[in-house]
Structure 1
Amino acid sequence: MASNQIQPRLGNTGFIIFLALLSAFVPLSTDLYLPALPEMTHFFAVPEIIMNLTLILFFIFYSIATLFWGPLSDRYGRRPILLIGLTIYLIASILCGIANSATQIIIFRVLQACGGGVATTVATAVIKDVFVGRKQETTLAIVQSMVVISPAVAPVVGSLLLTFISWRGIFFAQALLGITVVLGTLIFKETHQPESESMRLLRSFGRLGVLLKDPGFTALLMVFSTMSIISLGFISSSSYIYQNTFHLSSELFSLFFAFNALGMLLGPLIYIPLSKYVDRFVIIYSCFLLTIIGGILVLLFGLHNPIMFALTEFPATLASSAIRPPGTYLVLKQQENDNGSASSLYSAGGTIMGSIGMVVVSVAEAYPVAAIALINIIIGAICWLALWLSMRGLRQQIKI
């Protein structure tokens, strides 16, 4: 870490925790209220697909918002943009908690997504601002391993809260998260020198197009973003699979989900030491293969039993999270400037692809377990082939 970029008030440990909280906004904004989705569906007397719009539209507008927040943070600095976005998230969380209809919930979740989109984008840009080389890759892995604790903890906390309060309290808990990160932002030291006043805002947004014209950046962006179909498809359907298909209570759902989330936690933690001895591309291709194997195992053994489903889905959750640190590192390595814009495109790409996964499992709500299995197999194979073709055809353009 460069000497002029050390966080004097947060400290090194506090800095990493702050980055992890920012990066965890998506899982904390979804997984915390996953156990309440069936209750909310019943409360508002709407079909599952309508209540699933609170997830699907969240991710769609989250991805759109990230495309704005990244260039804005390049133009005006990370800290002021963080404060604006997080304040919007905080207000929207409170509005979700006092909503009186499914329509209001959907609208306020869209607003929540627009504000929350600043978090992951700026967190990734800050890591690129401050760290270089292997330190950057290992920091990404550490932050992301802390991030995936939230999918394990959030449903458990959400189920626990539901034993004392209604679903509305879940959104007030998200508001408390917003307050916490706003306070962290107030003591955060800026890591990016804002662009000069002569740099027009439209030109800053134009950097998105410049990056997309880079074939190496775009190829890797598409490959690693597509893997989000697997993780977000599972996350969005998990409460319905365990509670409606397998008829488990919300408390038992949270425990089963926590087991699968353990794979998300172990992925980056396993990658850090393994990458010292094994080439990152060998690890990446192996993770694609493991995802395919997991999907086949679900089809063979996990269709009718929650325990077997959790066990056979575990390889896919492990592999999809282990790919994140090297994938993020490789995508960001394709450019040396425009960290905010590159982070925006990476966040947006993953969220858009994840939204596709959520739509697919929603449409296949009659056979959600089989849908998850097929997604693992098909997406794992597509990403394996796409990366192989990209590395073969763009060998000179891709920086490794």
Structure 2
Amino acid sequence: MQKLDKLTKRRILFLLTAMFFLGVSATDIYIASLPQMVADFHSTPQTVNLTLSSYSIGIAFGVLFTGELSNRFGRRKVLLWGVSCFSAAAGLITFAPTIWGIIILRVIQSFGCAVILIVPRLILKDCMDEREQVHANGVLLMGLIISPAIAPVLGAYIATYLSWHYCFLFSAIAGFILVAITKKILPETNLERISRIPSLQRYLKGYLSLLKNRIFITLTLIYASGVGAYFAFIGISSYLYIGYLHISPIKYSYVFLGLSAAYLTGNQLMQLLNRKKAPLVNIIGIGVYSTASGVVILIITLFFDNLTVIALLATIGVLLMRVANALINPPTQIKIMSHFHTQSAQALGLNMCIGFSVNSLATYMVTMLPTYPLLSFVLTSGIFIGICLAAYKLNHKIIS
């Protein structure tokens, strides 16, 4: 383990948390601008939403190999390249003349985000003991809670008073600042690099064995479909609130403050149940039924014509989904790592890969009926939650 003093560890943790926030915010910051991008590029919601889907699918594949790259070439070097790649792509998006140029650049940006999601956790493992890691990872993951609260509001103001292009410029500048700080304060923490990256055949063999395992498939389906339903909201929400419900971009962005509070509430409930020694499968079950309740409320919105009532019920439904994400995500991934102890890194990587792939699919599927955003959202989220509920009901004894 790399021995560092407390002050250096604190600085590194602050730096890595800022990177986490930056990577997650890359979608949240321009979410309110999707309808305007459709208009600016004379495009369609389906095409513009590929900027979301391509980002998720790029992360899905990037997380499979990022860890091994840092094992071979070092954490510091891979992290610097990753954040630089992320920032350069964001800067180029600012000046991209076509929507397809943005989509390609978003794929490049996503590879940088994959590094940001994986390498900081490995750096913490390199320089901290288990007790320190628990605390540090809790701080690190605050980026996942804070970003959806702050980034959409910040992006809505930037887009309203400047232009959506400046949302990407903001990400680029912030990213390059973090690159400069990283060069100055982050030492190399991987003192035992591998001599060569394992063969692709070895990777594929391990992934294939996981895909044949019913426990892995069940836990991953529950996790991925639950998050996929929420990402359906991410993909359609701006068209629903701004275009259909005629809510201003700034007021729409405030919905994400509530969603962050909902996730934090679910996280606190999960920790309370865990302290009371509730079985993880029961905690997951509460999350599954919570997200199913959210879909039921969304279905009810279809029977109302009043836009205020629709906005209220739709928001309540999504808040329940977000609470459910906090109850489902950590327990499913913990059970995966515990059950597949000797393959924990591969199992978690494949789990995240499938999750981000489903997110990509959800953000694309939800725009299939662009003139009926509410119906499209209800149908898409209903499909994913149906899968989530079926996977749990049919296999909850197996994953106990």
Fold conserved between structures, TM > 0.5: yes
Q: 2:197 is aligned with what amino acid?
A: L
Q: CA deviation at 1:180?
A: 4.1
Structure 2: how far apart are the matches of 1:282 and 1:55?
33
Q: 2:94 aligns with which of 93, 97, 118?
A: 97
1:150 lines up with 2:147 in the alignment: yes
Q: CA deviation at 1:92?
A: 0.6
Aligned equivalent of 1:266 = 265
Taking a change above 3 Å as real, the CA distance of residues 300 and 26 of structure 1, as seen in their structure-2 partners, is farther
Aligned equivalent of 2:186 = 188
1:201 lines up with 2:206 in the alignment: no
Aligned equivalent of 1:286 = 286
Q: 1:70 aligns with which of 61, 67, 70?
A: 67
Structure 1: how far apart are the matches of 2:389 and 2:181?
39
Q: Output the aligned Cα RMSD.
A: 3.0
1:112 lines up with 2:109 in the alignment: yes
Q: Aligned pair count?
A: 390
Percentage identity across aligned positions? 25
Which residues of 2 match residues 160-175 of structure 1 at below 5 A? Answer: 160-175=157-172
Of stretches 239-248 and 63-72 in structure 1, the one that deviates more from structure 2 is 63-72
1:321 lines up with 2:343 in the alignment: no
Does the 8 A contact of 1:77 with 1:190 survive in 2? yes
Aligned equivalent of 1:224 = 223
Aligned equivalent of 1:398 = none
Taking a change above 3 Å as real, the CA distance of residues 384 and 92 of structure 1, as seen in their structure-2 partners, is same
Aligned equivalent of 2:300 = 300
Of stretches 21-30 and 89-98 in structure 1, the one that deviates more from structure 2 is 21-30
Q: 1:297 is aligned with what amino acid?
A: I
Q: Please, what TM-score do these two structures have when normalized by structure 2? A: 0.85
Q: State the Cα deviation string for residues 15-37 of structure 1 (Å, max 9, x = none).
A: 54444444445531101011222
Does the 8 A contact of 2:145 with 2:260 survive in 1? yes
Where does structure 2 lack aligned partners over 5 or more consecutive residues?
A: none
Q: Please, what TM-score do these two structures have when normalized by structure 1? A: 0.85
Q: CA deviation at 1:129?
A: 5.9
Of stretches 334-343 and 256-265 in structure 1, the one that deviates more from structure 2 is 334-343
Taking a change above 3 Å as real, the CA distance of residues 24 and 232 of structure 1, as seen in their structure-2 partners, is farther
Taking a change above 3 Å as real, the CA distance of residues 282 and 19 of structure 1, as seen in their structure-2 partners, is farther
Structure 2: how far apart are the matches of 1:5 and 1:333?
28
Where does structure 1 lack aligned partners over 5 or more consecutive residues?
A: 396-400
Structure 2: how far apart are the matches of 1:193 and 1:218?
35
Which residues of 2 match residues 1-400 of structure 1 at below 5 A? Answer: 4=2, 8-12=6-10, 14-126=11-123, 140=137, 143-183=140-180, 185-186=182-183, 187-197=185-195, 200-203=196-199, 206-207=202-203, 209-214=205-210, 215=213, 216-217=215-216, 219-277=218-276, 278-301=278-301, 304=307, 305-336=310-341, 341-387=346-392, 389-390=394-395, 392-393=397-398
Does the 8 A contact of 2:297 with 2:313 survive in 1? no
Structure 2: how far apart are the matches of 1:148 and 1:319?
14
Structure 2: how far apart are the matches of 1:246 and 1:202?
52
Q: State the Cα deviation string for residues 167-210 of structure 1 (Å, max 9, x = none).
A: 2111111113312442454333445444432xx32427733541
Does the 8 A contact of 1:70 with 1:341 survive in 2? no
